[in-house]
Structure 1
Amino acid sequence: MTAATISLRRWGFVHKWSSLICTLFMLLLCVTGLPLIFHDEIDDLLHDQVKPAEVPPGTPQANLDSLLANALASAPGKVPHFLVWDRDDPNAMVVSVGPSITSDPSKNTLVRMDLHTGAYLDAPDVTGRFTYIMLKLHTDMFAGLPGKLFLGLMGILFCVAIISGIVVYAPSMRKLSFGTYRARRTRIVRWLDVHNLAGILLVAWTLVVGFTGVINTWADLVLKLWQFGQLSEMTAQYSGRSVPAKLTPVNAAVAVASQAVPGMTPSFVAFPGTIFSSKSHYAVFLHGNTPLTSRLLKPALIDAETGKLTDTRDMPWYVSALFISQPLHFGDYGGMPLKIIWAVLDVLTIIILGTGVYLWLRRRKAGVTVERSIASASSVENAALTSP
């Protein structure tokens, strides 16, 4: 047995077991990810929500302090955590409020406000929505951080399976033309041809989606790293201060941040004491105005007592990598044509995973009989059977 044959068998072993371990979870992610590609369209179809008033382009925004007061009037006993400019609806703003400034923001109430009139729109409970359930299954299987890290591990195995599949593909196809589909062969040979062809055609896309998915599972850890790194450096000299009894107007804080970072647009405001800021600062996060820079955020810290800028910096590379990976993973930065392409590629990936499971089950059921049938069809097909 040659060294090349031994090496190929080792790669085949890696491909088989990395695929088998992660396949069922990858099927879950592909199935739940498909409706998430069209989550905006699904929500619009299934759920009614109050629309903001139509206004001419260039209409000035409402005073943020008045808008905030109206939002809090609709949620008595709650305190504001974040003001968020709605990316999907430029005429709306979302105010995230909780029972206290230290409460879990993931359980906050989301109040939608008209950005130009400052009027209350609604406060939808999204936790019962179909798209929310799909999102939770897709991101952490309702298991929180452990679920995210587990899915991240499955994503790493998926990337290993793709790379090892590339290695075993070329030798297994050296006697066959690219894209060969042997329609007159046995069923398992036909399924093997479908599995191999779809796998090699989608290798770039599956690697991109798999790798960006792994990065997204690290979002909580990236946030903690940023908090204890850059944010701590920016607020070190204010570490002994508490949340001010009276805050400077949020509208003025946003104006100071916008002036300090020209050419960028406010994306959201974190109030003092929340996870994205210190106890004594507003953190105003701004984004650029190009397709790429619109996904990148830059924080500006505004002293909540004096209203003065204290620091602004570009985000570290690892945070920027996370921001870029999120829209790339779901394909939601190129409009409906890109969403359709992403959906088609997702369905093809489901086919790859499904045929892999089928081939492995047939091998388990028939043992060497299947291997011999493939070997009789082509001397290289037995090596290709190492794929699940």
Structure 2
Amino acid sequence: MQATTIRRWSFVHTWTSLICTLFLLMLAITGLPLIFHHELEHLLGEAPELREMPAETPHLDLQQLVSAAERHRPDEVVQYLGWEEDEPSGVVAIMAATAGTEPNSSHTFMLDARTGEAVEMPAANGGLMMFFLRMHVDMFAGLPGKLLLAFMGILFVVAIVSGVVLYSPFMRRLEFAKVRHERSSRTRWLDLHNLIGVVTLSWALMVGITGVISACADLLIEAWRTESLAALVEPYRNAPPLVDAAPASNLVQIATNATPGMQPDFIAFPGTRFSSEHHYSIFMKGSSHLTSHLWTPVLVDASTLEVTAIGGRPWYMDALSLSSPLHFGDYGGRPMQILWAALDVLTIVVLGSGLYLWWVRRRGATSAREVTA
């Protein structure tokens, strides 16, 4: 590689790394506890605990659960009901002052499906784990914060690619993974920085790309609403406002009959951003490990309870659905969590050593100018 080309790639690598490093350090540090969020929620007492009851205790129907939620927060409306994978008798309810209230202003709690009892979820409403999640997702700055982090993620990907370009000719002069312990501290850290960077390369690229996709969630959901959802509800464009929604009791059975072999993940009530003013949207998922993260919306007329449409999945919504569990290592149980945590720590070392190397080089250049002045 020519010297001029190396200098150009070095400039790209240096400045893309420097611009995004502090943000990435924040993301790596806040992301570490999020990998173990289920375990930490229980440890911190932020996870909901349902009462012990006989296994054969029957569940209430959905409308009874909706009524229980409305009794718990009488001045609000139900936006979503979802099923908790780790708690078969738990139904997560999200409520707010209006159906269209933005997510960060909603209140989340769990309903005991057997009794309708409401159990608070501190982790979803301002607990320590929610602090880590908000910092990781948008730095408490909403969409501008998400877009800023998406831009930092793009810079991170460019920094990785440029680092690989620089590393390839560099390693031709050395054995792979060699750390020159006999050289200066800066050289040793450079070798470690390069070595750990190569070891975490594929993971860092994957986490960077999935992070960018997740950070653009609001834009992707709005694109889905504008394109796919708008087409599905076009016949209702001039329909009069919904006055009274039909009871939600049979929604799951209706959606299951429409999508055999699938199971419900969550229900969006009329007026929310995942439904229309005239529909319940029941989001069904597959039964395999992969398809359990892919949604198929079933739109049910909120007045007649007739299925009016079964939505397809645009590629960008599939990418969004898959990016979050892959980003946080939710696919492979405890072994994958441990692997993700180890790679996260190594990434923190890479980021910190990169800052150290830049500082030492800058200080050396300053000292050299002072000597020759």
Q: TM-score range by the shorter chain?
A: over 0.9
8 Å contact from structure 1 (residues 242, 279) kept in 2: no
> For the structure 1 residues 255 and 64, does the alpha-carbon distance in structure 2 shift closer, same or farther, using more than 3 Å as the test?
same
Are residues 55 and 231 of structure 1, via their aligned partners in 2, closer, same or farther at CA, if it must alter by over 3 Å?
farther
Contact 2:153 2:209 in 1 (8 A): yes
Partner of 1:364: 362
The 1:20/1:222 distance shift into structure 2, 3 A limit, reads same
**Is residue 2:116 matched to residue 1:119?**
yes
Deviation at 1:369, TM superposition (A): 7.2
TM-score with structure 1 length normalisation?
0.90
Q: Equivalent residue for 1:211?
A: 209
Structure 2 letter corresponding to 1:366: G
C-alpha separation in 1, matches of 2:221 and 2:326: 19
Q: Which residue of 1 aligns with 2:225?
A: 227
C-alpha contact 1:241 1:279 (8 A) present in aligned 2: no
Separation in structure 2 between the aligned mates of residue 35 and residue 105 of structure 1, nearest angstrom: 22
Q: Deviations over 1:273-299 (max 9, x none)?
A: 111111111111011111100000000
1:130 deviates by 1.2
Matched, 1:152 2:150: yes
- For 2:49, the equivalent position in structure 1 comes to 50
1: CA distance, partners of 2:164 / 2:102: 44
SS at match of 1:103: coil
- Distance in 2 (alpha carbons) for counterparts of 1:346 and 1:243: 50
1:110 maps to 108
Q: 1:318 aligns with which of 294, 313, 316?
A: 316
Aligned to 1:380: none
User: How much has 1:79 moved relative to structure 2?
Assistant: 1.3
- In the alignment, the residues of structure 1 paired with residue 240 and residue 97 of structure 2 have an alpha-carbon distance, to the nearest angstrom, of 18
Pairing of 1:180-191 with structure 2 (within 5 A): 180-191=178-189
Q: TM-score, normalised by structure 2?
A: 0.94
301, 304, 308: which one aligns with 1:303: 301
For 2:262, the aligned partner's letter is M
Q: 1:238 is matched with which residue?
A: 236
Aligned match for 1:77, one of 75, 78, 83 = 75
Letter in 2 for 1:73: R
Question: What is the identity, as a one-letter code, of the residue corresponding to 1:37?
Answer: I
Aligned to 2:351: 353
What is the SS of the residue equivalent to 1:128?
A: coil
Aligned counterpart, 1:293: 291
More deviation in 37-46 or 120-129?
A: 120-129
Question: Partner amino acid for 2:90?
Answer: A
**Contact 1:110-1:124 within 8 A present in 2 as well:** yes
Aligned CA RMSD, in angstroms, stands at: 1.7
- Could you give the per-residue CA deviations for residues 58-110 of structure 1, whole angstroms, max 9, x where no partner exists? x7642111111112111112211111111332320011111222333431222
CA distance in structure 2 between the aligned counterparts of 1:52 and 1:235, rounded to whole angstroms:
41
Aligned-pair CA distance for 1:11: 1.1
Secondary structure of 2:125's counterpart equals: helix
Cα 1:68–1:332, aligned 2, differ >3 Å: closer, same or farther? same
Q: Percent identity among equivalent residues?
A: 44
Q: 2: distance between equivalents of 1:106 and 1:258?
A: 30
- Identify which of 191, 194, 198 aligns with 2:192: 194
Helix, strand or coil: the match of 1:132?
helix
2:254 corresponds to which residue? 256
2-structure distance, mates of 1:257, 1:168: 54
Name the CA distance, whole Å, in 1 between partners of 2:104 and 2:115. Answer: 24
Contact 1:243 1:273 (C-alpha < 8 Å) held by counterparts: no
Measure the CA separation in 2 of the matches of 1:186 and 1:369. 17
Q: Deviation of residue 154 (structure 1)?
A: 0.5
2: CA distance, partners of 1:87 / 1:221: 27
Distance 2:100 2:340 in 1: 39
